[in-house]
Amino acid sequence: MAGPVQAPDQDRPARDGLVGSLLHGLAILDMFERDRPVISLSEIAGNLGVHRSSASRLAATLAAAGYLQPAGEKGKYRLAGKLAALGALATDGTEVRQVALPCLRDLVERCGETGHLAILDGAEAVTVEVVDGWHTVRMHSWVGKRSPAHCSSMGKSLLAGVTGDYLAVIYPEPRLEGRTPASITDRDDLERRLAEIRARGYAVDLEELEAGLCCVAAPVFGRAGDVVASISVSGPASRLNEAYIPDLARDVRRAAWQVSQRLGAPRRIGGWPPPPGDPAGNR
């Protein structure tokens, strides 16, 4: 493990005109590794050579900006979704996008509805891939589209993978903005819905984002078993009705699990149902 980073004091400029607090923040991000997904304030303070109170302010700032999220235990943090969004922009094609696209195309070919791949950026679901459906009447979307996570199926399937502490950070107020009369507008109600999503393995949007539009989404898991993206299909409420959704959800979950397995995700993930096709996971 690398020794402590000798970054300048965060309250004064670094040499050569560099900003000390920014260097400290970047040094914190550099501390994360595949076998070190969570770091504590004590580790940050020791690595940077600063007081714990300074480490706490730095971590809180990064969390407020969407780069870190609380890891469950007080004083511990993990990386948050904004870094994935920036990575997608920087590489113009992340591993998730490359792996997911064939599965997303197969899903759209089967169901005919428009397919999406999304990642979480704070309280928004960001579309990073789109495959148009083949129905004459279909949803039209675009890469880079941002939707309130609590109003969309792909957003809710992403939120179902974060901690309650992180929800409190991105939704500091108990009331949430609604887009339609069907939108979730209460944070406690959102938490209950997220628990239901984890129990059944998929999320639905019944005209919560747009009137007349319904969607079904399932999470994509990474190597560590964390939710790294979501796959969804969207179409008019006349086709994606409550009678059809369970069958469609099985196809969406199957596609999401195919992507997850290609990314190296564990076969079983705590807190989530077994994958489709598993004797215990046909639900």
pLDDT at 83: 74
| Claim to verify: residue 60 and residue 171 sit in the same structural domain | no
pLDDT at 206: 94
Lowest mean pLDDT among 179-183, 187-191, 240-244, 277-281: 277-281
pLDDT over 80 (residue 7): no
pLDDT over 50 (residue 2): no
pLDDT over 50 (residue 5): no
Whole-number Å distance between alpha carbons of 147 and 125: 5
| 120 beta partners | 125
| Claim to verify: residue 164 and residue 183 sit in the same structural domain | yes
Q: Report the CATH number that the domain containing residue 181 is assigned in CATH.
A: 3.30.450.40
- Full-model pTM: 0.68
If we measure between CA atoms, which residue out of 157, 148, 123 comes closest to residue 229?
A: 157
- Tens-place pLDDT, residues 115-131: 999 999 889 999 999 99
pLDDT over 60 (residue 281): no
pLDDT at 165: 81
- Tens-place pLDDT, residues 215-233: 999 999 988 888 999 999 9
- Tens-place pLDDT, residues 168-200: 889 999 999 999 999 999 999 999 999 999 999
- Tens-place pLDDT, residues 20-69: 888 899 999 989 887 788 999 999 999 999 999 999 999 999 988 888 98
pLDDT at 9: 47
At 137, the pLDDT band (50, 70, 90 cuts) reads low
Q: How far is CA 1 from the centre of its chain?
A: 29
If you write DSSP's letter for every residue of 21-68 in order, what string do you get? HHHHHHHHHHT-BTTB-EEEHHHHHHHHT--HHHHHHHHHHHHHTTSE
pLDDT at 90: 53
| Claim to verify: residue 126 and residue 222 sit in the same structural domain | yes
pLDDT over 60 (residue 76): yes
How many domains does the chain divide into? 2
| Claim to verify: residue 68 and residue 114 sit in the same structural domain | no
Q: Report the CATH number that the domain containing residue 56 is assigned in CATH.
A: 1.10.10.10
- Tens-place pLDDT, residues 141-159: 788 889 999 999 999 999 9
Percent pLDDT > 90 in the chain is 57
| Claim to verify: residue 47 and residue 135 sit in the same structural domain | no
**Structural domain harbouring 218:** 84-262
Per-residue tokens: 189: 């109600």
Return the biggest CA–CA distance within the chain: 65
* Domain membership flag for residue 166: yes
DSSP state of 14: P
